Structure 1
């Protein structure tokens, strides 16, 4: 054969190159069924590699060789860059023969390009001569192509709905895991001969591919649900499998493995889950705030039904909150205590805002009558006595008041619609108490909470921990406020005609408390009919306090129609005892504590005018800080505090203003120049 080289114009390098080409071409045209031809072509390429390194290189030879190598490289890399499509379990041996040829042809071609560059001829293509780099490139390319195919197949198998997108991701994760298993079993053992981190490269590439798809899907996801949780959990499982593939390569690849691991950006499933769960909480809280805003615009405080005497808005709000808590724990993820506290805090703010709305019903000051100016009685004046003598058959002042109050002797129950609405508000607050307790229990005992360290710490500091502690405190304050407002409305507005306006009008004997007691009992029956059992005790106590307040105002601020004599004391005391008996359902010690102030004021009516004046002078000097009154000095006018008690100088002064005798009249005129009362 060598004898023909000179005839053909060949030399050994040219022969080696052409022979390698013939072997390669023969392998291709015979349908690649003779692996020996490919191995022989590789052997000849090894000779070509040595020839290229020699200095006496012919230009024609280099052109022919480069063209030949480009074809061989393109053919080999077409398969190697997509080896998952061209090789399977039955043909896996082919890759073991193809890899050496592809890598060597690339290496020789790189050397040819380098030579051309040195000789001033720029190469059209830059080719790396690193076999490791080429293997890395083959693995990444083939893995990406294989992943793209299974992704397309999964998409084509469904219609692409939102629910099907979740199924697609689950199926894609499964097939990605199968692809990783195939890589580890079939291809990695061969590829590791050329690149020790072949398995890690494949795992990292698949991890990145699935991560991109997962990221795109989650980008349009704002709330967490069971489908998304399933996808995230499946992604976490896939990630664990791929990480294990990388770990298995660590012993063989050394520092190279660490470099590969840095490319593996974690899916951060837990972080994503927490973020989406936080967004889910925010979205549910927005619904609660929207419902609260609607309630503020539409709530009328009419009972939901005859058996459910509380606001409809409270039922809707607590139903939404209960649904939120139940749905929260239905999400199949381990919930951290911080998330529980975040959810509870958000719900508590909504509940507290609703409590403020329920308690926004004014104050007792809206119903208290204005205090009339202080005046002095004048019924025993000389003019009054002259009028009585001149008109022996005329109508007495007492008779006039008797006629005025006759229409109040047989009044009807007087619980207004507005007061009944306040009762509905009070029932609503107690409805909240019951459901908040249930919510507290649900949050505290859920088995899905991963850790309760902070909760345990809280329990060590307080006797009973509650997620809604602030709301519970707000409800208690709101119950007290609404009960107080309802009581003062009932007594000072609804019952004003039979209580503050008519009791003792004209004289004590002509307008006793009995009609007022009867109406009060009937109104309390209405109260117990509307209010729930839990709300009745506090409401009844507040009605008692308001009644005692009204009784005192009759005695101390009942001008101009009230005048009292010392002899009225026993009747007034008897009436007050009757008033206390109306509230017999309240514990005796509670009644006595609230009645103590009123009884002290009533006792002043039984004192002589002289004693009242003396007590008033002493107390006024003590409270004003002047010590004693000198010659020519006058007592200062005590301020009106509204806190009636027998030691208050303003209270004693008001008793004197209502005292129907000459001594009191002269004292008030001399000390304070009080005007006469217009009767």
Structure 2
């Protein structure tokens, strides 16, 4: 019926045009153009009036309702009128769509200008307006195709740029929310007691709280139906990454530097038998631990159990990052996949459905792994140089090797390892035990090379030292239940050259040191400092005379001031 009406109208126009030459100058397409413009404007005014009347009883913002009604109007235009009018105007649907885009845009403009925050109105209007614009684009694309849509948009439309405006307000929300997340994360870490949640959950409650806070924030972020760009997602992920790094830094905050744990090296002296006891007294005076009271108190509070819970919490943090990344990536992909094609036409370039979210938290991963390594190292150093300082660093091999062997230390280490394995998660066990092995080897080398005036060694002691090193090695391998043999062998190998030097006669060591100091190479692959230290701990007059003459090494430590 509509076809007949339009046909009659066009024939009437032509008949009248015979009496009005000016009318005939305008082709049928222009007349249809005017019909469409007039009817669309009239229809839009009616729905706008209807929406305003209904506004008092509706919970939805006027512009959100108007967007929905405009979309319905366009569907009627494209499904009923445009197929008929396209006989005279091939782009009738394009004309209707572009006109409705402009009419709604005139209403939307003032609202966009004053939208600064992610209010309820913004959350209501932005998705509706964006959906309308996307639908308008799809209608136009159905007529001219995606290739023709680009030029058509440039000619006929002024984009609402809702995605850009929305991105600004979303970013403002993200920044504000991330500040709160940081505050909550700090509070959770500062209130942590570092006791395990349960025998099954050996991490602290703070990291669970941190994940709860972050996941709730992510839920809020994705619950917003407003348009977003990849930039907003990246900003959100960077903020979350920073929050995990802040947590990691707070976990390791009490972990002091190695220098605060390891006692100062005694002043290097040459051996002189009658000064041994006097030098030992001076050594005790010189080796006062240079740690202030606050740091000392913090170190004491870092028990094995609490250190393990800190490590477990860090492991929990890094082990759950993958799940968080997957969740964010999947939700973003789902959100964006249905919009990419139209957005390409609106902006002249593709936005991409989703960037690679699998590396968004690499900063956290790097920070957490470094923190785990640091705490593992600290744990080993604390056991050897702090908890066991007296039996290991101060007394082992004192006066002679036979009087204080390593086997007594191993018995204590066995208790330490038992306590450690009761708390630490299986995935971190080897890393912590490796730290303890490294510290034990550091302590052994320290005693041999920098043990002070009360440590003296002769070639006859070398087999005993080798035997002790073997005991230490097998203890950490523990018949296959401990560290991998290859790992232990590799770490122990750095001590063997030192013991090999102890095995050498004094004259051989002197000749080797003379060669090295003159620019040559050591036949033992050693350096001048190590060779000198071995000679200073050699209990014979030849070594003492040589280091006194050529290196001015005193026979005892100078008095402390």
CA distance in 2, matches of 1:200, 1:514: 88
1:621-657 CA-partner distances (Å, limit 9, x unpaired): 226x9x9xxxxxxxxxxxxxxxxx9602211211221
- Report the counterpart of residue 291 of structure 1 in structure 2: 184
Between the aligned partners of 1:443 and 1:176, the Cα distance in structure 2 is: 33
Q: Are residues 1:150 and 2:50 paired?
A: yes
Query: Map of 1:48-67 to 2, 5 A cutoff?
Result: none
Q: Is the 8 A contact 1:154 1:171 kept in 2?
A: no
**Equivalent residue for 2:261, pick from 358, 362, 367:** 367
Return closer, same or farther for 1:220/1:554 CA change in 2, 3 Å cut-off.
Answer: closer
Per-residue deviation at 1:551?
A: 0.6
User: Which of these residues, 288, 312, 320, is aligned with residue 213 of structure 2?
Assistant: 320
Residues 148 and 433 of structure 1, relative CA distance in 2, 3 Å threshold = closer
Task: Choose the corresponding residue for 1:469, options 362, 371, 374.
Answer: 362
Alignment match, 1:538: 431
Provide the residue aligned with 1:441 in structure 2: 326
Matching residue within 514, 522, 538 for 2:407? 514
- Residue by residue over 1:118-161, the C-alpha shift from the partner in whole angstroms, topping out at 9 and shown as x without a partner, is xxxxxxxxxxxxxxxxx999999988975664344223225xxx
Which one has the largest radius of gyration?
Answer: 1
1:670 equivalent in structure 2: 549
Partner Cα distance (1:241, 1:646) in 2: 76
Aligned counterparts of 2:101 and 2:420: Cα–Cα separation in 1: 74
SS of the counterpart of 1:433? helix
Alpha-carbon contact 2:162-2:227 (below 8 Å) kept: no
Q: Counterparts of 2:216 and 2:260 in 1: how far apart (Å)?
A: 39
> Shift of the alpha carbon at 1:284?
3.5
- Give the Å deviation of 1:327: 4.4
Structure 2: how far apart are the matches of 1:427 and 1:204? Answer: 57
Note the residue ranges of structure 2 that are not aligned, 5 or more in a row.
1-34, 86-91, 145-151, 282-298, 341-349
**CA contact 1:207–1:242 (8 Å) conserved in 2:** no
Q: 2:395 aligns with which of 485, 491, 502?
A: 502
Structure 2 residue 375 is matched with structure 1 residue 482: yes
Unaligned runs of 5+ in 1: 1-134, 159-163, 190-195, 248-257, 385-395, 401-414, 460-464, 628-644
Cα distance in 2 for partners of 1:285, 1:359 equals: 22
Residue aligning to 2:500: 603
Conserved in 1, the CA contact under 8 Å of 2:117 and 2:173? no
Q: CA deviation at 1:299?
A: 4.4
1:346 aligns with 2:239: yes
User: Residue 518 of structure 2 corresponds to which residue in structure 1?
Assistant: 621
Partner of 2:487: 590
Task: Give the number of equivalent residue pairs.
Answer: 471
Aligned to 1:231: 128
1:165 and 1:610, CA in 2 relative to 1: closer, same or farther beyond 3 A? Answer: same
1:279–1:650 CA distance, 2 compared to 1 (3 A): same
Aligned to 1:165: 60
- The answer (yes or no) to whether the contact 2:171–2:232 under 8 Å persists in 1 is yes
CA contact (8 A) 2:40 2:100 kept: no
CA distance in 1, matches of 2:497, 2:269: 23
Q: 1:618 to 1:243 in 2, by over 3 A?
A: closer
1:173 shift after superposition: 3.9
Q: CA deviation at 1:354?
A: 3.0
Q: Secondary structure at the match of 2:392?
A: coil
Contact 2:64-2:125 at 8 Å conserved across structures: no
Whole-Å separation in 1 of the counterparts to 2:423 and 2:486: 26
Superposition deviation, residue 221 in structure 1? 3.2
Does residue 425 (structure 1) correspond to residue 310 (structure 2)? The answer is yes
1:652 equivalent in alignment to 2:531: yes
Would the alpha carbon gap of residues 290 and 457 (structure 1) be closer, same or farther in structure 2, given more than 3 Å must change? closer
Contact 2:380 2:435 in 1 (8 A): yes
Q: Partner of 1:165: helix, strand, or coil? A: coil
Which deviates more, 503-512 or 276-285? 276-285
Q: CA deviation at 1:437?
A: 1.6
Shift of 1:373: 0.9
CA apart distance, 1:325: 3.6
Measured at CA, do residues 482 and 217 of structure 1 come closer, stay the same or move farther in structure 2, by a change above 3 Å?
same
- TM-score of the two chains, using structure 2 as the length reference: 0.69
Change over 3 Å in CA distance of 1:675–1:454 after alignment to 2: farther
User: How many Å separate the matches in 2 of 1:221 and 1:561?
Assistant: 73
What is the CA deviation profile of residues 535-565 of structure 1, one whole-angstrom value per residue up to 9, with x for unaligned ones? 1111111111110010111111111322223
CA contact (8 A) 2:196 2:202 kept: yes
Residues 311 and 425, structure 1, Cα contact 8 Å, conserved in 2: yes
Q: Per-residue displacement from partner, 1:326-357 (whole Å, max 9, x unpaired)? A: 44445557865555444333322332333333
Distance 2:525 2:96 in 1: 96
Contact 2:112-2:165 within 8 A present in 1 as well: no
